[in-house]
Chains A and B, each alone.
Chain A
Amino acid sequence: MSAPNARERKACWDARDELWKCLDVHKDQTSACEKLQREFEDKCPAQWVKYFFKRRDFLKYKEKIQNEGYEPTEGASKL
């Protein structure tokens, strides 16, 4: 399977960005963005879909930590 070329990469990134916009508006309710989700999965290799979702989750988590602070879990050992 050959790697996507520049045109295919851009189509994938655009589909991803449209999906992200929709998920942001609908507060991550995937049911509201099913059509865009399908387009994203069509236009991007499966490995990239997984990678971009992981990255989105990570960036949201990072934002949450930066805005809300971090609470260590109960009974967590001191380093």
Chain B
Amino acid sequence: HRASYGQQQGIGSCWYVYQEKQKKIQMQRPEQLRKMAVRQGYFSLLDHTGQQRTKRDFLGCWVLLYFGFTHCPDICPDEVDKMTSLVCILDDDPSLPSVQPVFITVDPERDDVSAMAKYVKDFHPRLIGLTGTAEEVKQAGRDYTVYASAGPKDEDGDYIVDHTIIIYLVNPDGLFLDYYNRMKSDVQIAENIRNHMINYVKLFPD
């Protein structure tokens, strides 16, 4: 039979509380994202000119990160070439903000500032190379769950570093938005980034 007046009141107030809770969750979401953007992916490294760079220095820019090493036989040059190509595709579109490509070493033992400088000049003119101590490099990769493991040294002291092969997209708020593996082409990645840019909503008011 029909709910009593008291029961209807009860149901009504439950619904009201539920709605208020949903509103609060929605309002907290940007706040949670802001906290995540600040905390996540922190790094403090040296660029290929010897200048210190932290995550803060890149805020306000769209950033592409790739973790690799200069002694890499083919995969890293291929991926950094791809990154160069897709940045050029986006550069050709004047309606889009520019993207900052970044190469971070997973082989800090060999990839010092001068090794990085020598490496980055073969790629996009805006490519920045980052290096540091073993601990600094490890920390930079932490929030992106970058895996890196140096193989055995041969008689020349040479070795291969096995590592995750991913390009990461970070937005101007410093939030990690997307990632691209080897299967994705330069064209596909550029298109994906274009969509992210179009849908971008600033987390931190000016």
Contact = CB atoms under 8 A, between A and B. Distances in A.
Interface of B is mostly: loop
Contact of B156 (A5, A6, A9, A47): A47
Interface string A39-52: 00000111110111
Interface stretch (B21-29, B85-93, B114-122, B164-172): B114-122
A5 B118 contact: yes
Nearest to A4: B71
B160 interface: yes
B154 A3 contact: no
B115 A6 contact: no
Contacts of B110: 3
Interface residues of B, number: 17
Contacts of A50: 154
Interface residues of A, number: 16
B41 to A, nearest CB: 26
Given A3-B118, A5-B122, A9-B77, A51 B71 contact: no
Contact of B158 (A1, A5, A6, A9): A1
B71 A3 contact: yes
Contacts of A20: none
A65 B18 CA distance: 57
12 contacts: A1-B157, A2-B115, A5-B118, A5-B119, A6-B77, A13-B74, A45-B71, A46-B156, A47-B71, A47-B73, A51-B73, A51-B160
